[in-house]
Amino acid sequence: MKIVHLSDLHIGRSVSGVPMIEEQRMVLFGQIIPEVRKSGAGAVIIAGDVFDRANPAADAITLFDDFLAGLAMLETKPEIFIISGNHDSAERIAYGSRIMERSGIHLSPVYDGNVKPVTLRDEHGEIDFYMLPFVRKSTVRYFFPEEEIDSENDAIAAAVRAMKVNPDRRSVCVAHQFVTGASVSGAEESNVGGLDAVNPTVFSQFDYVALGHIHRPQTVAAGIRYCGSPLKYSFAELDHSKSITVVDLAGKGDVRISEIPLVPVNDWYDIRGTFAEITAKEYIEAHPELAEGYLRVTLTDENDIPNGYRSLQALFHNMLEMHYDNSRTRAMGITSETGGASNKSDEEIIRELFELQNGRQMNEEEINYIRKTICGQ
């Protein structure tokens, strides 16, 4: 069976106030659905972070509904597996799951300590799909009070043991966690490392583990893979090559993984120079891709340009950040930033402010509170 592995759609995301929903629509319908059709996949996995927020806007919900309908109408009728990620509301993702299942769309329920497999069949026999939504150790500890759970690794290990996976059958696990060995960048760093890390050996019983959470596509261990996000969502992802992961699961232990490149509708660019150089007619004509690209501009002028941000944004509609890098800013040990947003996540900013004001770091209960009520996680 061929399986298309997707994750981290983040539908409804805006970057520095610039909505990306139309670009998301173009990638979902212009590239992903045609590639799923072409692959002849019998299953499509979406490994969490379907939406960018726990309470997505109406247009984000409509787009995802349209996307699911598009997949469901394919001639191959792929079974669809969707779990909630840390950006999603687990309850929202689970809503209507029993009705959706009749159409071959399987939604992860709110975690209750009991992950039941969905079994599909192909020419090689049966395949068990286990959907493990994003969970924290406190949630897992509640359902397994007899277990010693002091870390995220302990929690996921306990959740997997409770699945009672049959080692003689082919099995796939869909999860949204940080697995040790993954390469991270930018805002992802605030949510990984330390107690958040899960050892890949926890998943050793599965033939394939379809992971979400990390935006760079990568294989962290044999049969354990992040497919990455379909679009770039920050300048930390500037060097990412986005793709779709296609898994060919034949007999037991026979797993072949390939990638289908995704072409960005509007790419991300980091440009620098003087205001006169960047706004010169010759420069603009030589770089037509910058007109709609997502830009971070670094001006090297020694003096600030009056209304420089507005002037550049009139030329480059999707400019997200503007900085100065000159003798003054270098002497101060900074790069002056105008407009746009910091690379730090909301959670990072709140935790740093809390520590500054209270003289201590947030405890786990306080971190969970801001993630749920302020950061929309």
* DSSP bridge partners of 268: 294
Instruction: Note the pLDDT of residue 356.
Output: 54
Instruction: Note the pLDDT of residue 225.
Output: 97
Question: What are 338-373's pLDDT values in tens digits?
Answer: 554 445 556 666 766 766 566 566 777 777 777 676
Asked if residues 147 and 158 have their Cβ atoms less than 8 Å apart, the reply is yes
Angle separating helix axes 346-358 and 364-373, nearest 10 degrees: 140
- Reading the block at residue 348, the tokens are 């990072």
Instruction: Note the pLDDT of residue 188.
Output: 56
Distance CA 316, CA 321 (A): 11
DSSP three-state, residue 197: strand
- Reading the block at residue 290, the tokens are 């910058």
Residue 187: phi and psi, rounded to 5, are: -60, -20
Question: What are 163-217's pLDDT values in tens digits?
Answer: 999 989 999 999 999 999 888 875 555 455 444 789 999 999 999 999 999 999 9
- CA-closest candidate to residue 319, choices 262, 277, 263, 278: 278
Question: What are 78-117's pLDDT values in tens digits?
Answer: 999 999 999 999 999 999 988 999 899 999 999 999 999 9
Angle at 147 between CA 197 and CA 86, to 5 degrees: 40
Does the pLDDT value for residue 43 go beyond 60?
A: yes
- CA-closest candidate to residue 159, choices 184, 180, 186, 177: 177
Please state the rounded mean pLDDT for residues 258-285: 96
Please state the rounded mean pLDDT for residues 125-129: 96
Question: What are 128-142's pLDDT values in tens digits?
Answer: 999 999 999 999 999
CB proximity list for 86: less than 8 A, separation 6 or greater: 48, 49, 134, 176, 191, 213, 371, 377
Does the pLDDT value for residue 316 go beyond 60?
A: yes
How confident is the prediction for the chain on average, in pLDDT? 89
pLDDT tier at 71, thresholds 50, 70, 90:
very high
Residue 320: phi and psi, rounded to 5, are: -105, -30
Q: Which residue has the higher pLDDT, 326 or 43?
A: 43
Does the pLDDT value for residue 51 go beyond 90?
A: yes
pLDDT tier at 280, thresholds 50, 70, 90:
very high
| DSSP letter for each residue of 205-249 | T-SEEEEES-SS-EEEETTEEE---SS--SGGGTT---EEEEEEE
- CA-closest candidate to residue 242, choices 214, 212, 262: 262
Asked if residues 295 and 281 have their Cβ atoms less than 8 Å apart, the reply is no
Question: Please, what is the end-to-end C-alpha distance for the chain in angstroms?
Answer: 34
Q: Give the pairing of strands 14-15 and 268-273.
A: unpaired
Please state the rounded mean pLDDT for residues 254-261: 96
Distance CA 157, CA 172 (A): 16
Does the pLDDT value for residue 47 go beyond 80?
A: yes
DSSP three-state, residue 300: coil
Instruction: Note the pLDDT of residue 341.
Output: 44
Does the pLDDT value for residue 127 go beyond 80?
A: yes
Kindly list the distances between the CA atom of residue 288 and the CA atoms of 27, 240, 291, 316, in Å, as whole numbers in the listed order: 21, 21, 6, 10
Instruction: Note the pLDDT of residue 336.
Output: 55
Question: What are 218-231's pLDDT values in tens digits?
Answer: 999 999 999 999 99
Kindly list the distances between the CA atom of residue 184 and the CA atoms of 16, 129, 179, in Å, as whole numbers in the listed order: 21, 27, 11
Instruction: Note the pLDDT of residue 346.
Output: 65
* DSSP bridge partners of 92: none
